[in-house]
Structure 1
Amino acid sequence: MKKESVGVVQTKYYNIEEPIELESGKTLDNITVAYETYGELNREKDNAILICHALSGDAHAAGWHEGDKKPGWWEIVIGPGKALDSEKYFIICSNVLGGCKGTTGPSSINPKTGKEYGIDFPVITIKDMVNVQKKLVDAFGIDKLAAVVGGSMGGMQTLQWIVSYPEMMKKAVAIATTARSSPQQIAFNEVGRQSIVGDSNWNGGNYYGTDKIPKEGLSVARMIAHITYLSDESMYLKFGRDLQDKDEITYDLSMDFQVESYLHHQGA
């Protein structure tokens, strides 16, 4: 184990007993929140930093789980002597509401039916995610966070913390994010969504408990999303028009370019 790592960690779970009212007006009962912590909370409880993850992230931001081949997704930033120093700060990262990595979401069991929520799971907003995070922070007895930090969708959560609970933080670090989606972003999201619901295995969103999932539609949606993650200029710097494992264009429907290979890899 490298010295600068937080070491072996475990995901923990916090249960919110009271119903949570969502921005849509609907409510969710018996919410479970998956989270991890790094470092120690001091006696004054004023050294806590909340990390908000991006769309495909989870609570495992740093350290290693037993048997893992790679550490948490922000290992480069969190740990002893790093930017978010776990010897100085108590760092918290939770899987967002609606996530698929331990926190209540569509794959969770609906207590009213005894089956997975599936398509019956309510639409979740960034504000809903933040309100659930607030419940977790409260459970630690923390009155004010030293900082809230997040990138991409995590940055959106950070901005929402500023709006919803400005008195509960000293600093906010919002990275590569936005306060709202542009019309073009909304359009790309809709194309990706239609790719998923158009998959023959979508089954109206009720595919839990079957051996079929809309993986082809999800793969294409992910490819579309990754195009939006890189600017045209950065794509030229990263890939250019370089060919992938060949010396000349094949003039068929196979992959010719490195950027195509990149998208297929991300889709898979």
Structure 2
Amino acid sequence: MSDPQDSEVFELPNFELEQGATLRPAKLVYKTYGTLNADRSNAIVYPTAYGARHSDNEWLIGPRRALNPEKYFIIVPNMFGNGLSSSPSNTPPPHDRGNFPHITVRDNVRAQHRLVTERFGIERLELVTGWSMGGLQTYQWAVSYPALVKRALPFCGSSTTSPHNIVFLEGLEATLTADAGWNGGFYEQQPRKGLRAFSRVYAGWGFSQAFYWEKLHRQLGFESLEDFLVGFWEKDFGSHDANDLLAMLWTWKHADIGTTPGSDGDVRRALGSIRARTVAVPAEKDLYFPPEDEKWASQFIPNGDVRVIPGVWGHLAGLGINPPDTDFLDGVLRELLASSL
């Protein structure tokens, strides 16, 4: 996939990854919204989620939203592996396709930090926020660069990928690699059967049980479950390269702020190092990142709080497709941005 016309590229020559490989160069694709003010004090970083691109974040940005581009300078960096930034599908040999190296959440955040500081000269961020894997990156920003991040709002995310979440991700990986055409990631054409199975496994987790009981897929324009599985889930993941999906999955599976240098493997110690005013916003029935996990983490953050999105839309309460959920999230963002520090 080529870089979209409305984005920019930040190149990082000889970018060494935590797992030891070096990308020459790594390419970080990003888009900005709004104007950086004279003293560079109005910047917000809003990373992408699993399988998402910068345009997928735009539903939460606008003049009537808390993330107002008339007031803030909003930077949306694309996560490595998403098909825009360096990914298996767009990286030349020796790191193409099945040879693409493993990239951690910290690798992503370190590259984003260089973008923020080297390209824009920003020394303080008003806010870092993000959904799902964007939430994982939000926590990592707050831990890795505590003096830079004033406020943090991870929504439908977590600081560390839980064992139950890892089990889910292992299942997704198995669906793709079991396709007869997989060939170790050097397939001649996309493994369509694997992608279809991947989509249907994912469908059981994105929304809650109550969402399906109440047949709320009809609100999205799908009358039957089969229509929903095909028209919503298969349409989405079928548009991705399988290697890209697995690259991002590895990043997700190995997210753990406790492994940040200086934390000695202790998640509590990492959480305690956060200086940002932090409000975690989980969804009430999220099957990936349940509110209980965020409430546990919040007690170790010196200035941490939790606000739960009510309702039955589960993890996808953070996707911007249910107006009450969007309004709730926007309200919490507005409140946090208006708070004094």
Fold agreement, TM-score > 0.5: yes
Q: CA deviation at 1:180?
A: 2.1
Taking the aligned partners of 2:148 and 2:192, their CA distance within structure 1 comes to 40
8 A Cα contact 2:8 2:29, kept in partner = yes
The Cα offsets for residues 45-81 of structure 1, whole Å up to 9 and x where unpaired, read as: 0101111111021122xxxxxxxxxxxx233321223
Cross-structure match for 1:235: 212
Counterpart amino acid of residue 259 in structure 1: L
Which sits farther off after the overlay, 195-204 or 82-91?
Answer: 195-204
Taking the aligned partners of 1:238 and 1:50, their CA distance within structure 2 comes to 35
Answer 1 or 2: which has greater strand percent: 1
Cross-structure match for 1:261: 227
Counterpart amino acid of residue 258 in structure 1: S
1:107 aligned to which of 64, 72, 89: 89
Counterpart amino acid of residue 89 in structure 2: S
Does the residue aligned with 1:137 lie in a helix, a strand or coil?
Answer: helix
8 A Cα contact 1:40 1:87, kept in partner = yes
The Cα offsets for residues 96-130 of structure 1, whole Å up to 9 and x where unpaired, read as: 122212x11111233x54xx611111112211111
Cross-structure match for 1:125: 104
Aligned pairs for 1:149-168 (under 5 A) are 149-168=129-148
The Cα offsets for residues 205-236 of structure 1, whole Å up to 9 and x where unpaired, read as: 012xx3x1112202211221221122212322
Taking the aligned partners of 1:226 and 1:154, their CA distance within structure 2 comes to 20
8 A Cα contact 2:36 2:43, kept in partner = yes
Does the residue aligned with 1:233 lie in a helix, a strand or coil?
Answer: helix
Taking the aligned partners of 1:235 and 1:184, their CA distance within structure 2 comes to 21
- Confirm or deny that 1:10 pairs with 2:6: yes
Counterpart amino acid of residue 267 in structure 1: E
TM-score (norm 2): 0.62
TM-score (norm 1): 0.78
Structure 2: runs of 5 or more not aligned: 236-341
Q: CA deviation at 1:170?
A: 0.9
Percentage of identical aligned residues: 35
2:168 aligned to which of 188, 203, 214: 188
The total of aligned residue pairs comes to 227
Cross-structure match for 2:312: none
Aligned pairs for 1:65-76 (under 5 A) are 73-76=56-59
Q: What value does the CA root-mean-square deviation take over the aligned residues?
A: 2.3
Larger relative contact order (C-alpha < 8 A, sep ≥ 6)?
2
Does the residue aligned with 2:179 lie in a helix, a strand or coil?
Answer: coil
Answer 1 or 2: which has greater helix percent: 2
Displacement over 3 Å in runs of 4+: none
Taking the aligned partners of 2:50 and 2:150, their CA distance within structure 1 comes to 25
Cross-structure match for 2:71: 88
Cross-structure match for 2:193: 216
Taking the aligned partners of 2:53 and 2:234, their CA distance within structure 1 comes to 19
Q: CA deviation at 1:239?
A: 4.4
- Confirm or deny that 1:171 pairs with 2:151: yes
Taking the aligned partners of 1:184 and 1:259, their CA distance within structure 2 comes to 26
Q: CA deviation at 1:237?
A: 2.7
2:33 aligned to which of 31, 38, 41: 38
Cross-structure match for 2:264: none
Taking the aligned partners of 1:188 and 1:109, their CA distance within structure 2 comes to 28
Counterpart amino acid of residue 18 in structure 2: E
Taking the aligned partners of 2:211 and 2:144, their CA distance within structure 1 comes to 34
- Confirm or deny that 1:198 pairs with 2:178: yes
Does the residue aligned with 2:10 lie in a helix, a strand or coil?
Answer: strand
Does the residue aligned with 2:45 lie in a helix, a strand or coil?
Answer: strand
Q: CA deviation at 1:191?
A: 1.4
Q: CA deviation at 1:21?
A: 2.5
The Cα offsets for residues 131-173 of structure 1, whole Å up to 9 and x where unpaired, read as: 1111111121111111101011101110111111111111111
8 A Cα contact 2:80 2:86, kept in partner = yes
Does the residue aligned with 1:75 lie in a helix, a strand or coil?
Answer: helix
Does the residue aligned with 1:167 lie in a helix, a strand or coil?
Answer: coil
Cross-structure match for 2:259: none
Counterpart amino acid of residue 234 in structure 2: G
Aligned pairs for 1:50-69 (under 5 A) are 50-60=45-55
Does the residue aligned with 2:175 lie in a helix, a strand or coil?
Answer: helix
Counterpart amino acid of residue 206 in structure 2: Y
